[in-house]
Structure 1
Amino acid sequence: MESFENIYLDFSKQPGKSRFAETGLGWKPMGGGDTFTLDRTNIGPSQWSRAARGYEVKVYSRNLGVIQMDGFQQEDYDRLAKCFRLWYGVNLEQKEHALRGWNWGKGDFGKEELAFNVRNQPAFELPYSEISNTNLAGKNEVAIEFSLPADGDETGTNGHLGGARARGKKAGGATDQLVEMRFYIPGTVSQKEKKEDGEDVTDGENEEHNAATIFYQMLMDKAEIGEVAGDTFATFLEVLHLTPRGRFDIDMYEKSFRLRGKTYDYKIQYESIKRFFLLPKPDDMHQLITIGLDPPLRQGQTRYPFLVMQFKREEEVSIDLNMTDEDLRNKYQDKLQSHYEAPIATVISRIFHGLTGRKIVQPSKDFISHHQQSGIKCSIKANEGHLFCMDKSLMFVPKPATYISLDNIQNIVMSRVGGAVSASRTFDITITLKGGGEHQFSNINREEQKGLEAFCRAKGIRTKNEVDDDGSALMKAALAEEEFASSEDEVVQAARGSADEDDESVDEDFQADSDSDPAEEYDSAHESSGGGSDEEMADANGDADADADADSDREAAVERPKKKTKTGK
């Protein structure tokens, strides 16, 4: 037996003790925990290379992927090489890494990892088990997303998920974690056509394919992102997603589900699902399924913490799960049924509930809108959507999907933006959070105010109503506007003196219907008196005498100022 101290397994945060014996190898953390062992029959090709904490032994196991042990000293090589050669029948190959610092090279797909080689030397390797998703980010660009731990303390060597080493958790051992990498792959490659049985077609020329597409397809197969990730329990085709926008096929597996679209494919672990909502849309035609994810779904630089799916209420589906009765009883304790026949939104939500164990949250019975619905129409900035009131939270969908816990709400202020009379039909609410920050929902129908106030009282949330406080002022403004419209002549006269003595004509010199050229103001034919047009209008209406008496009364009450002579320009 050979023993080595201060060895790190799969980038673990804590060192341990590594032992090599004729029956196999093992590793035990110094601080206590589960022990990892590997039988000699499972040990495949192995490498010795320089690494972060000294020197590393990398073992390509036959069914457990890549196993990395870091922290050896340079003089330990001879002892280890002898152990591998005599006990395991494996040559411990010394591997030199490329140190040129180039960012261009060649991708080499191995059995357990993707190697990026620079001048036939590996610059870095990416184990397939650490790749959670890959997408075509452009015509010649492939994006690779890496698995993330559920929390900061979880690594591949602390006993989580049933052992000292867990698949896809190596990133948890580092302080900083690489979450995405992109490869630019230009040009095209030749690929032979294949028959249905897999043999190459001998006749004909080789087809040219985009190199990035071929790289993407090979990575999908090697990293088991897709249908090869196990048996599919259920599949739903062409499901409309509002966030991210598009139609995706949903494949449900034992520990994850996959969204397959025309451009993007996503593989999402059930561990990432933190919340699950089934929301009836207020149009009486659709239902929404909203899934909260942590870590969020990533599409390039865009993050989607919520998936929003839309279904027709009347669309029913009949499906049989690809499970045995024994699995239904033992693994899922009758949380799932072998056969479902119900509306599609109900079926999908029940299957998700059985596979993930997450509670299906639905709108609270304490709130009913004015139109007898569970949601109310409103807006976040320029985005229209619906706000749903749950027993413990508020949820706005579809974009941007916003979740607010009732326990995190400090107060809610109901107010009205703008002072126009038309604004009295709607109001806004501003939700202030206890930890700082706020959310504003605008353009809410005035009829929903009483229902929201009653819901807030039932949940013990402090509210301030500024809508009714300024309601009286708006009513006074409206009445003043009506009085202004009914007595416009008197108001204008008070503001302009005797300028409004004329009933209809404001500019006495303007004659729109005259066939002759109008007289200029400085012309001798110009009349300085302003009563001509009034008298003609009065004669046309047959009320000349009455208007003349009214004019004389006004002239007696108000001294007529001398009319100013206009100057032509």
Structure 2
Amino acid sequence: MSTAQFDSIFLGLSGVAGKLRIAQSGLGWKSSDEKESVTTVPSSDIKWIQWIRVARNYQLRIGTPKTRITFDGFLKDDFERLQNLCKQYYNTTIESKEVSVRGWNWGIAEVQSQDMAFLVAGKPTFTIPLSQVLNTSITKAEVALEFSSALPPPPADSTEDAIARKKRLRTLPDEVSELRLYIPGSARGMKKKGDKAKIKAEGGDVKDDEEESDEEEDDTGDEGETAAQVFHDAVKEKADIGQVVGESFCTIPDVLCLTPRGRFDIDMHADFLRLRGKTYDYRIAYSQVQKLFLLPKPDDIHCQFVVNIDPPIRQGQTRYPYLVMQFVKDEIMELDLNLDEETLKEKYENNLKLRYDDPAYEVVSVLFRVLAAKKVTTPGNFQSHDGQSAVKCNLKANEGQLYFLEKQLLFISKQPTLVPHSDISAVVFARVGGALPSARTFDLSIRMRGDTDHPIIFSALNKEELQSIDEFLRMKKVRVKNEMDELAAVEAAALGDDDDDDDDDAMDVDAPAPKGVLAEEDDEDSEVDEDFQASSSDGGSDSDDSGSDDDAMSDASADKPAKKKQKTSD
């Protein structure tokens, strides 16, 4: 039996082209890259075939009992040839599906077996494989779909600085990371037929056209349930977010997360984990985990486990690149793993145990360390003035704890901040606003390499922590500048000048008055005495004239009040 071959054909979302061969026994696709295996579709599994215009020319979409397979890259002239081959070999007619090109952003969102299709005037505008949906969330009447990234993960080398990271990101292509659908209205009259569920994006009652006559029997929506909630649940189910394929080997219940805020149940699987909360469910692959931190809180009661993930999870417009879990140090966790001894030995090299009866933070950190294959970073040799591993401070309006680790600084708050030592240009101790040397707090300004105009400023650090922080950073060979010492020296010099001026003033008060001042006082006295003498001689009697001048001056001095001594001023 002859075999037809088509070149430069892509399988699904693959970026590598290959060859597609069609024979009576079925279809077979082989990539031009020898590393990829051959994909075959037996003729007995072919249920339907569709022909659709896509970005990579034309697509041949084949439906099977369990899945849907697509082949892209066909030319328009290949349709007739494929039509004849499918009729001859599989007794199936290719259905040509028209695509809407109106450009409208409102229509009907239809959840099919493995796709989410957006229809405009009854024609699909685009379809999205639900297998690519990483998470879905709902806010009132808005449903957000987050997609997994096809880009390569960041390198595991922790020495990558900020400049190298920017260069690496510039070379990566753009991709769709999130899609939002606004679906107002209630779910009354909504229809489901098999694996299909239709919801009008512009709101209102929605009905499956093929089942309008069975409205009372097939009505699945309650009057109080919104259309957005029904659509969210359908996507969650079909995308395997709510019901994950494969059994988890352990579940950690009721874990308190500070970021994002809430309590979650953590389901640990072989390749990923799930965070199940009341509102949000997240599916996080272990390949997204970049760093792990196990850090005690300064209160000596709690311990924090921090997971750095990239790409981050989202809640609306907010990104969460860090998961911050909090455990009580005295809390004991009893946990049994759903694994056999052979799997523990072969796959995990006996790094896990079948049963745990240890502190909760230790159990969780061990599971993440083994499954994500990442080292858990613990506090180094830094100690604050009260013997803690962190100091309290503020970053903008957020209060938190700043940990001085061996290779980075980690600030834990609502939005944690990680600063590697390799990215630091200089650390400056300063007081913003010209505070006095007697102030009890200081600011820690971190200038980053390549961005010295926008430093990271940690404020309100206790002054008692200055010496320990200074010694630690100098030991790590981080450039340190203490502007407070310079300010204190300038202020001390200014205070010294003021003291000298005060001493001079005191000496001027006690010292004799200058000669010129005393002369002026003598002149005043002499003028008064002369006037007094003149009046006495004019109006006096003969007997008065017989008196001596000394008696007249003494009488004048007795009648005139004593004059106060004037102070001199500079």
Q: TM-score, normalised by structure 2?
A: 0.75
Aligned counterparts of 1:119 and 1:97: Cα–Cα separation in 2: 10
| 1:453 alignment partner in structure 2 | 470
| 2:340 alignment partner in structure 1 | 324
| 1:46 alignment partner in structure 2 | 49
Relative distance call for 1:177 and 1:420 in structure 2 (3 A) is closer
1:411 aligns with 2:411: no
Shift of 1:404: 1.3
Aligned counterparts of 1:153 and 1:407: Cα–Cα separation in 2: 17
Amino acid across the alignment from 2:486: D
1:184 aligns with 2:182: yes
Aligned counterparts of 1:185 and 1:442: Cα–Cα separation in 2: 45
Relative distance call for 1:356 and 1:98 in structure 2 (3 A) is same
Shift of 1:27: 2.9
Number of aligned residue pairs: give it: 470
Shift of 1:106: 2.1
Shift of 1:206: 7.6
Alignment of 1:66-85 (within 5 A): 66-85=68-87
1:557 aligns with 2:559: no
The answer on whether the counterparts of 1:24 and 1:37 sit within 8 Å (CA) in structure 2 is no
Aligned counterparts of 1:559 and 1:404: Cα–Cα separation in 2: 63
| 2:526 alignment partner in structure 1 | none
| 2:411 alignment partner in structure 1 | 396
1:15 aligns with 2:30: no
Alignment of 1:376-525 (within 5 A): 376-421=391-436, 424-437=439-452, 438-474=455-491
| Structure 1, 281-290 or 82-91: larger mean CA deviation | 82-91
Relative distance call for 1:476 and 1:315 in structure 2 (3 A) is farther
The answer on whether the counterparts of 1:412 and 1:462 sit within 8 Å (CA) in structure 2 is yes
The answer on whether the counterparts of 1:60 and 1:112 sit within 8 Å (CA) in structure 2 is no
Aligned counterparts of 2:380 and 2:153: Cα–Cα separation in 1: 34
The answer on whether the counterparts of 1:286 and 1:310 sit within 8 Å (CA) in structure 2 is yes
The answer on whether the counterparts of 1:150 and 1:272 sit within 8 Å (CA) in structure 2 is no
Aligned counterparts of 2:340 and 2:568: Cα–Cα separation in 1: 104
The answer on whether the counterparts of 1:414 and 1:464 sit within 8 Å (CA) in structure 2 is yes
| 1:57 alignment partner in structure 2 | 60
Relative distance call for 1:335 and 1:482 in structure 2 (3 A) is farther
Relative distance call for 1:331 and 1:483 in structure 2 (3 A) is farther
Aligned counterparts of 1:331 and 1:191: Cα–Cα separation in 2: 50
Relative distance call for 1:35 and 1:80 in structure 2 (3 A) is farther
Stretches of structure 1 lacking an aligned partner (at least 5 in a row):
155-173, 193-200, 494-551, 561-569
| 2:327 alignment partner in structure 1 | 311
Relative distance call for 1:42 and 1:412 in structure 2 (3 A) is farther
Shift of 1:277: 0.6
Cα deviations by residue, 1:249-269 (Å, 9 ceiling, x for unpaired): 222222221222222222211
- Matched residue SS, 2:84: helix
- Matched residue SS, 1:441: strand
The answer on whether the counterparts of 1:26 and 1:35 sit within 8 Å (CA) in structure 2 is no
Aligned counterparts of 1:126 and 1:425: Cα–Cα separation in 2: 58
Alignment of 1:530-549 (within 5 A): none
- Matched residue SS, 2:439: helix
| 1:124 alignment partner in structure 2 | 126
Aligned counterparts of 2:562 and 2:372: Cα–Cα separation in 1: 90
- Matched residue SS, 1:188: coil
Relative distance call for 1:423 and 1:230 in structure 2 (3 A) is farther
Aligned counterparts of 2:268 and 2:563: Cα–Cα separation in 1: 89
- Matched residue SS, 1:452: helix
The answer on whether the counterparts of 2:385 and 2:464 sit within 8 Å (CA) in structure 1 is yes
1:226 aligns with 2:242: yes
The answer on whether the counterparts of 1:431 and 1:440 sit within 8 Å (CA) in structure 2 is yes
The answer on whether the counterparts of 2:187 and 2:221 sit within 8 Å (CA) in structure 1 is no
Shift of 1:281: 0.7
- Matched residue SS, 2:376: coil
Shift of 1:88: 4.1
Cα deviations by residue, 1:258-314 (Å, 9 ceiling, x for unpaired): 222222222211111111111111111111111111111122222111111222111
| 1:36 alignment partner in structure 2 | 38
Amino acid across the alignment from 1:183: L
Stretches of structure 2 lacking an aligned partner (at least 5 in a row):
156-171, 191-215, 510-560
The answer on whether the counterparts of 1:3 and 1:18 sit within 8 Å (CA) in structure 2 is yes
Among 3, 9, 14, which residue is 2:5 paired with?
3
Shift of 1:84: 3.1
Aligned counterparts of 1:398 and 1:296: Cα–Cα separation in 2: 17
Amino acid across the alignment from 1:402: T
Aligned counterparts of 2:290 and 2:379: Cα–Cα separation in 1: 17
Shift of 1:236: 2.5
Relative distance call for 1:153 and 1:315 in structure 2 (3 A) is closer
Amino acid across the alignment from 2:367: I
Amino acid across the alignment from 1:453: D
- Matched residue SS, 1:432: strand
Amino acid across the alignment from 2:145: I
The answer on whether the counterparts of 1:54 and 1:70 sit within 8 Å (CA) in structure 2 is yes
The answer on whether the counterparts of 1:236 and 1:249 sit within 8 Å (CA) in structure 2 is yes
- Matched residue SS, 2:77: helix
Shift of 1:386: 0.9
The answer on whether the counterparts of 2:29 and 2:39 sit within 8 Å (CA) in structure 1 is yes
Shift of 1:388: 0.8
Aligned counterparts of 1:403 and 1:205: Cα–Cα separation in 2: 48
| 1:499 alignment partner in structure 2 | none
- Matched residue SS, 1:81: helix
The answer on whether the counterparts of 2:189 and 2:220 sit within 8 Å (CA) in structure 1 is no
Relative distance call for 1:413 and 1:78 in structure 2 (3 A) is same
The answer on whether the counterparts of 1:191 and 1:206 sit within 8 Å (CA) in structure 2 is yes
Cα deviations by residue, 1:6-52 (Å, 9 ceiling, x for unpaired): 22222443433222233432333446542431231554432111122
Among 357, 360, 384, which residue is 1:369 paired with?
384
Aligned counterparts of 1:220 and 1:132: Cα–Cα separation in 2: 10
Relative distance call for 1:176 and 1:461 in structure 2 (3 A) is closer
Amino acid across the alignment from 2:477: G
| 2:159 alignment partner in structure 1 | none
Relative distance call for 1:301 and 1:558 in structure 2 (3 A) is same
The answer on whether the counterparts of 1:417 and 1:423 sit within 8 Å (CA) in structure 2 is no
Among 277, 283, 291, which residue is 2:299 paired with?
283
Amino acid across the alignment from 1:406: H
The answer on whether the counterparts of 1:185 and 1:211 sit within 8 Å (CA) in structure 2 is yes
Amino acid across the alignment from 1:372: G
Shift of 1:143: 0.8
Relative distance call for 1:274 and 1:344 in structure 2 (3 A) is same
Q: Percent identity?
A: 40
| 2:535 alignment partner in structure 1 | none
The answer on whether the counterparts of 1:421 and 1:478 sit within 8 Å (CA) in structure 2 is no
Amino acid across the alignment from 1:177: E
- Matched residue SS, 1:79: helix
The answer on whether the counterparts of 1:416 and 1:423 sit within 8 Å (CA) in structure 2 is no
Amino acid across the alignment from 2:277: G
| 1:566 alignment partner in structure 2 | none
| 2:148 alignment partner in structure 1 | 147
Relative distance call for 1:355 and 1:88 in structure 2 (3 A) is farther
Shift of 1:180: 1.1
Amino acid across the alignment from 2:488: G
Shift of 1:401: 0.9
Aligned counterparts of 1:256 and 1:553: Cα–Cα separation in 2: 102
Aligned counterparts of 2:324 and 2:92: Cα–Cα separation in 1: 52
